[in-house]
């Protein structure tokens, strides 16, 4: 996996052989977790992340009926579960072993998200702030991935808004669909997506279950801080230079955001001590 966080690539895995990922087990898992994202609203490629349900269904009920409910479910916080935790920690270890030192030396946090979705369901176009290893466990889907370095596709204002908290900031451009790398995804297949690689998926004719291994990287923190700083400048009517244009400006921007964050944490700790 020498192309880690440089380009997308496929790999094989055996996690799909685990019966723990069958739908009845996922229904029981959802009852033990504190919560999750789920939507039964219609979704298109351009819709971004949105919350909504046409019916007042519960999370376990949504999973139990997912074969015909046009739903998308994201389950997080799995590492703390007594049954799923050991399996997921093993997967995280295996991913790190396969990638090698490039990941071990850079990762600040690894987490897993289960993605459960109905036949034909679309996961909208979006970007992630982590390097992603997507492992297909049940069903089939088509994954469309775009070049994260193409600023005519993924613009600086979109990235600034994303790092400022807008998870749907990346805007799908239908005329650029021809530029996507398209992967047919089936159980036993894995796919690596670099940080900020725009992507969207469409399920096949059966329920899809996948696990997304998300790795936050120390090396991305500086870039995130620069985009946060640029977002504040743009809000004031200025036009900030893109990251990489002027190294000294980048250093000042990153240090400024880091220093502000430290000062805010310090003030919060002091306020807590005096309450």
Lowest mean pLDDT among 88-92, 157-161, 190-194: 88-92
Give yes or no for a contact between 191 and 122, defined as CB atoms under 8 angstroms apart. no
pLDDT band at 213 (very low <50, low <70, confident <90, very high): very high
Percent share of the chain, pLDDT over 70: 91
Q: How confident is the model at residue 262 (pLDDT cuts 50, 70, 90)?
A: very low
Domain boundaries, the chain: 9-219, 222-273
Q: 0.95 cut: is pTM over it?
A: no
Confidence class for position 29, pLDDT limits 50, 70, 90: very high
Q: What local confidence, expressed as pLDDT, does residue 237 receive? A: 93
Q: pLDDT tens digits for 37-89?
A: 888 888 899 988 865 555 568 899 999 999 998 899 999 988 889 999 898 88
How far, in Å, are 139, 156, 196, 209, 240 from residue 148 at the CA level? 27, 11, 6, 25, 20
Give 96-102's long-range contacts (Cβ < 8 A, gap of 24+): 98/1, 98/11, 99/1, 99/4, 100/1, 102/2, 102/4, 102/5
Q: What is the mean pLDDT of the chain?
A: 88
Q: pLDDT-derived band of residue 185, with 50, 70 and 90 as boundaries?
A: very high
- Report yes or no: 146 and 197 within 8 Å, Cβ to Cβ: yes
The predicted structure's pLDDT at residue 77: 87
Residue 2 has pLDDT above 90, yes or no: no
| Structure tokens belonging to residue 242 | 């893109």
pLDDT for res 48: 85
Percent of the chain with pLDDT over 90: 63
| Count of CB atoms situated within 10 Å of the CB of 182 | 9
Show the beta-strand stretches assigned E in the chain. 9-12, 36-39, 72-75, 107-117, 122-126, 131-138, 141-145, 181-185, 189-193, 199-203, 208-217
What integer pLDDT is reported at residue 41 of this predicted model? 83
Arithmetic mean of pLDDT, 150-155: 96
Place of tokens 């743009």: 234
Average pLDDT of the segment spanning 200-220: 94
- Asked whether the predicted pLDDT for residue 114 surpasses 60, the reply is yes
19-35 burial string, b = 16+ CB within 10 Å, else e? eebeeeebbebbeebee
Domain spanning 9-219: CATH 3.30.1130.10: no
pLDDT classification of 96: cutoffs 50, 70, 90? confident
Look at residues 37, 60, 57 and name the one whose alpha carbon lies nearest to residue 124: 37
Q: What is the DSSP string of 148-215?
A: TT-TTTS-HHHHHHHHTT-TT-S---GGGGGG-EEEEE-TTEEEEE-TT--EEEEE-SS-EEEEEEEE
What's the mean pLDDT in 127-144? 96
Once rounded to an integer, what is the mean pLDDT over residues 190-206? 96
């Amino acid at each position: 996996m020498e192309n880690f966080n440089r380009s997308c690539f496929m790999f094989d895995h055996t996690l799909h052989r685990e019966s723990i990922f069958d739908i009845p087990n996922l229904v029981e898992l959802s009852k033990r977790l504190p919560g999750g994202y789920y939507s039964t609203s219609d979704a298109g490629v351009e819709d971004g992340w949105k919350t909504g349900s046409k019916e007042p269904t519960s999370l376990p009920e949504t999973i139990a009926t997912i074969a015909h409910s046009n739903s998308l479910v994201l389950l997080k916080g799995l590492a703390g579960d007594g049954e799923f935790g050991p399996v997921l920690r093993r997967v995280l270890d295996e991913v790190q072993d396969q990638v090698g030192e490039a990941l071990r030396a850079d990762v600040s946090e690894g987490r897993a998200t289960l993605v459960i979705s109905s036949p034909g369901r679309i996961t909208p176009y979006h970007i992630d702030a982590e390097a992603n290893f997507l492992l297909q466990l049940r069903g089939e889907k088509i994954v469309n991935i775009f070049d994260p370095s193409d600023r005519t596709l993924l613009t600086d204002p979109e990235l600034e808004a994303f790092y400022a908290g807008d998870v749907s900031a990346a805007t799908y451009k239908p005329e650029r669909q021809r530029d996507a790398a398209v992967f047919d995804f089936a159980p036993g297949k894995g796919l690596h997506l670099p940080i900020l690689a725009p992507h969207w998926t469409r399920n096949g004719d059966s329920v899809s279950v996948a696990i997304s291994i998300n790795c936050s990287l120390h090396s991305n923190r500086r870039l995130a801080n620069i985009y946060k700083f640029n977002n504040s400048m743009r809000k004031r009517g200025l036009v900030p230079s893109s990251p990489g244009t002027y190294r000294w400006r980048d250093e000042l921007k990153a240090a400024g955001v880091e220093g502000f964050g430290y000062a805010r944490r310090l003030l919060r700790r002091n306020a807590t001590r005096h309450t």
